[in-house]
Structure 1
Amino acid sequence: MKLTKLLTLAFAFVLLFNISCSSDSTEIPALTYENGYFISNEGKFNDKNASVTFVSRDLSLKQDNIYAANNNNAILGDVLQMIAFNGNNAYLVVNNSNKIVVVNRYNFTKVAEITDHINQPRSMTFANGNIYVSNNDYGTNKYVSIYKASDLSYVTKIDFSEYVETIVTAGQNVFVQNASGGYGNKFTYINTTNNTPTEYTVPNGDINKMISYNSEIYAIAGTSTNSYIYKIGTTGVVETKVLTGIANATNLQIDNNKYYFSSSNKVYSMNMNSSTVPTSPLFEAVDGGPYLTLYGFTVLDGRIFTSDIKGFTQDSEITVYNAVSGAKISTFTAGKGSNGTFLNQ
């Protein structure tokens, strides 16, 4: 998809895509960040060039580096891990800067920052009036820190012996993925009434991704021959789907009651109520090599957002596919190390 025009709008420096790739231009209303997508750009490690790209929901407008644009060219930090939402705010988990930056989700101006007991944060979620943050320095510090959502004050922390990665909520229940980089087969349920943890182990494979969907928790795990999708509850694994013949599956997403996942650079889909394992991929993405292929993979609104991060040497290329047919919808650039897409409603 070709970038055709640079416009100055309400929040400045908005890049206009032309979906038909023609040179025609139309008058565009003032941009707001409501009802669009935020793309989290990790940036290159130690370069402090993390950023956020905004794309309108109809994929017609894009604005890069919106944090700097709305905060007097301030530097966001080093390694933006993910974005979470609560009320009118968006929470930017900045891993190697040891902070969570809180911004207004509609104009992206900074409103607060959390640094107390933050050490290499990985993920965050909300439950029972609290904020839960997973911290993992891959050394001695592996814990979940807890804060009041009302005033961001520190409450307590829960220490772990296993790695702590993705943390998600189902109802008022919090679950922690105790696996990292395709190694580890454990997860933890946190009872948010008293913040007590209970650890569980999946029967097969190493957990690659844990997600929340419709107040349920799902995880995907893999071996060198088969993979497994687990439905998880407060008492452990409650349902298993075996993906026979699909090795080391990861990037689990759910949209419109379909599972989406990848194995290497191949992207698959299957109905949640089906027991038939797909025999061919929906499409094949760019192969970026070990640990970098499909570095960003998100399914939203019947679209699959993928990123080719080009080895962190240049801006990422985002390709959007139709989630039903696998056909390409659009391609555009974002910042370095794009690792996820988040819907801001």
Structure 2
Amino acid sequence: MKYFKYLSFLLFTSILLTACSDDDDFNSQTPIPTGDYADGFFVVNEGPFGGTGSLSFIKNDFSEVTQNAFVAENPNEDLGSFIQSVFFDEERMFIISNGSNLINVVNRYTLEFIALIDAGFEVPRYGTILNNKAYVTNLASFGSTTDDFVSVINLETYQVENTIPVNNIANQIEAVNGKLIVENSAFSDGNSLTVIDAASQEIESLVEVGAGLNSMVLLNNEIFTLSATQFSRINTNSFSIDASVDFNEEQGNFQNLQVANGKVYYTSGNAVYFTNLTDLNFEEEALFSYETDSAFGMFYGFAVQNNQIYIADGSDFASNGTILVYNESGQLLFETEAGLGPNGFYFN
């Protein structure tokens, strides 16, 4: 009888400890974000020349579309003209207006206004976060390719505390391994990346890629670039090119690089293509093509998320653009109107 009671005590203790352990594990899990904008994606709409841009928000299941989401939550705040892009940290979204040289900071899940940063920019383009600082590229004057710079923003004060000269075009920017990687190309004019040490805020090196650089992607501590003449895979420890594929003139002008699911996605003309990262065969047949009447707005925005392909069509830039979502078989899953000049997708 004592032996049975002892075994019962051990069994009860084991169950109790297991239950406590499970509770601890549950309580230590990262909380699921809440807010009206927690389960979906934003579309950046540039807006008309001299007018105000906007944000559209679409639920992940496509059940709800909110136009002018920023204004809906912040009717007294100025989003600015010509919205270029947004970037995130864990809780915040930074909305770049390069027509008004300002950044609005909001909660990424509720769009509650936090701060306005309206000094220290000159045609800001893209941003990234590293060690509680934001780094934003600036095109500066349109007549020069050597006056571009990176604004360094203190995220405690929301003030630009320094600028880093790039001495080259400064467009897309990523942060990895304590370094800032700046794409030295705008409108496919360029063929290099600048590597900046974030601690010293000094340029460390230049990585040359193919001419006509148009896309840069950071994934799993690797940088991928797509040019009119070359695809490159770059090691971010040595910043050397691990693999590259050169294109011939007959292959067309590949653009809009995305890397996901072990695949490289890209566009040419009005068609979407992919190749596997393991073989990098850029002579595959198109996944699908889409019909558009837009002379300059074809694939104005492009993204791949959860095996779905997102396309923003700019239309005639005098009327609202269109969002289309396809699966990899080319089946249209969803279509809706966006704002004027939809140029990018940002997934929450």
Quickly name the TM-score band, shorter chain normalised.
Answer: 0.7 to 0.9
The correspondence for 2:112, drawn from 101, 109, 127, is 109
Q: Contact 1:167 / 1:176 at 8 angstroms: preserved in 2?
A: yes
Alpha-carbon distance in 2 for matches of 1:56, 1:73: 25
Between stretches 93-102 and 268-277, larger displacement belongs to 268-277
Alpha-carbon distance in 2 for matches of 1:236, 1:188: 12
How many angstroms does 1:343 deviate by? 0.8
Q: Is residue 269 from structure 1 mapped to residue 307 from structure 2 by the alignment?
A: no
Match of 2:258 in 1: 253
Q: Helix, strand or coil: the match of 1:68?
A: helix
Alpha-carbon distance in 2 for matches of 1:289, 1:60: 27
- Aligned-residue RMSD, C-alpha: 2.0
Match of 2:143 in 1: 139
The correspondence for 2:345, drawn from 324, 341, 344, is 341
The equivalences for 1:25-40 within 5 A come to 32-40=36-44
Q: Contact 1:230 / 1:241 at 8 angstroms: preserved in 2?
A: no
Q: Is residue 239 from structure 1 mapped to residue 243 from structure 2 by the alignment?
A: yes
Q: Contact 1:92 / 1:102 at 8 angstroms: preserved in 2?
A: yes
Q: Helix, strand or coil: the match of 2:110?
A: coil
Specify every segment of 5 or more residues in structure 2 that has no aligned partner in the other structure, as ranges: 1-33
Alpha-carbon distance in 2 for matches of 1:121, 1:56: 28
Match of 1:120 in 2: 123
In terms of fraction of residues, the more strand-rich structure is 1
Q: Contact 1:95 / 1:121 at 8 angstroms: preserved in 2?
A: yes
Q: 1:277 to 1:157 in 2, by over 3 A?
A: same
Q: Helix, strand or coil: the match of 1:335?
A: coil
> Structure 2 counterpart of 1:338, which letter?
P
Determine what percentage of the aligned residue pairs are the same residue.
28
Match of 1:208 in 2: 214
Match of 1:321 in 2: 326
Between stretches 132-141 and 104-113, larger displacement belongs to 132-141
How many angstroms does 1:248 deviate by? 2.1
Match of 1:90 in 2: 93
The correspondence for 1:311, drawn from 310, 316, 319, is 316
How many angstroms does 1:243 deviate by? 4.7
In terms of fraction of residues, the more helix-rich structure is 2
Give the structure-1-normalised TM-score. 0.84
How many angstroms does 1:231 deviate by? 2.6
Give the aligned length: 310
Q: Contact 2:323 / 2:338 at 8 angstroms: preserved in 1?
A: yes
Match of 1:172 in 2: 178
Q: Contact 1:218 / 1:232 at 8 angstroms: preserved in 2?
A: no
Match of 2:8 in 1: none
Give the structure-2-normalised TM-score. 0.83
